[in-house]
Amino acid sequence: MNTVAAPTIHCIPVLSDNYVWLIEGKDGAAVIVDAGEAGPVIEAIEARGLKPVATLITHHHGDHVQGLAELTRRFPMTIHGPDSCRRVGVDHVVGEGDSFTVPGVGEFAVLATPGHTQDHLSYVCGTAIFCGDTLFTAGCGRLFEGTAAQMLHSLDRLAALGDQIGPEATIYCGHEYTADSLRFAAHAEPDNHDIAARVREVAAKRDEGEPTASAPMDLEKRTNPFLRVRVPALRKAIERHVGETIEDDIEAFAQLRHWKDDFDGLARL
């Protein structure tokens, strides 16, 4: 996929643990990915002297769209997103297989990635994969609206982009969940040395206040349990957890997601 120039991608913290991604292209042109809160995004745009020309919406949850009205009042621009988000300002509805070019920034391909929600979209520009709340660094979104089959299919498609794009493929997700997700990953695969190393690296970055919600897809494949349900060591761990053999990949994924949900619940006690 061709871009006008290799864009610079800025990470803007908003709300309690969300991120807005700001893609800076040529001559100050910029694209906003999701719009959970307007204030910090406006500050980042003005501090860098950028001109937003488009916003991409991944799905309809409030923490990804509730800043959109204020942003569009301040910066007239095209809003790309799913049909369900017309009500919050999307004026260019996109879906599976679509592509569009943002002048000064590049070409974006659209993938339908349901599971977290039924309307979830991911966007690919060059080596960058903006996957919202479908694929997290070291984790994946909860199944609020979709099924395990949908989510596994979506994650398989995103993982396959790593092979299609190459080693520079990098994901950019919607939340700072990496450390929590890695705690579960280490619990599920205690002998995975890549996970252990990543736990240390993420802890060091967070101690410095650095974001960790972007990562190479290759690293995700080695450390994200939700991309590894077919790996024998993890599959055996899932089977031990449920106490039975699992032949079906979708069932294995569903049980892994249940295991993570239970693990999160216990961590809050």
Query: Is residue 115 packed enough to be buried (19+ CB in 10 Å), middle (13-18) or exposed (0-12)?
Result: buried
Which candidate in 10, 34, 60, 63 is catalytic? 63
Q: H or E stretch including 40?
A: helix 39-48
User: Which residue type, as a one-letter code, is found at position 223?
Assistant: T
Among this protein's residues, is 175 annotated catalytic?
yes
Among this protein's residues, is 91 annotated catalytic?
no
Which candidate in 59, 80, 120, 153 is catalytic? 59
Which candidate in 64, 80, 120, 153 is catalytic? 64
Q: Cα–Cα distances in Å, from 265 out to 17, 187, 237, 259, 269?
A: 18, 14, 19, 10, 7
Please give the Cα distance from 87 to 186 (Å, whole number).
Answer: 41
Contact 30, 49 (CB under 8 A): no
Which candidate in 80, 119, 175, 180 is catalytic? 175
Please give the Cα distance from 71 to 148 (Å, whole number).
Answer: 34
* Residues whose CB is less than 8 angstroms from the CB of residue 107 and which lie 6 or more positions away in sequence, other chains included: 1, 2, 3, 99, 100, 101, 125
Contact 20, 35 (CB under 8 A): yes
Which candidate in 60, 61, 80, 153 is catalytic? 61
Q: Cα–Cα distances in Å, from 258 out to 12, 142, 261, 269?
A: 31, 10, 5, 17
Which candidate in 116, 119, 120, 180 is catalytic? 116
Please give the Cα distance from 75 to 119 (Å, whole number).
Answer: 25
Among this protein's residues, is 241 annotated catalytic?
no
DSSP letter string, 235-256 = HHHHHHHHTS----HHHHHHHH
Question: Of 113, 232, 103, nearest to 161 (Cα)?
Answer: 113
Among this protein's residues, is 61 annotated catalytic?
yes
Residues labelled as active-site residues: 59, 61, 63-64, 116, 133, 175
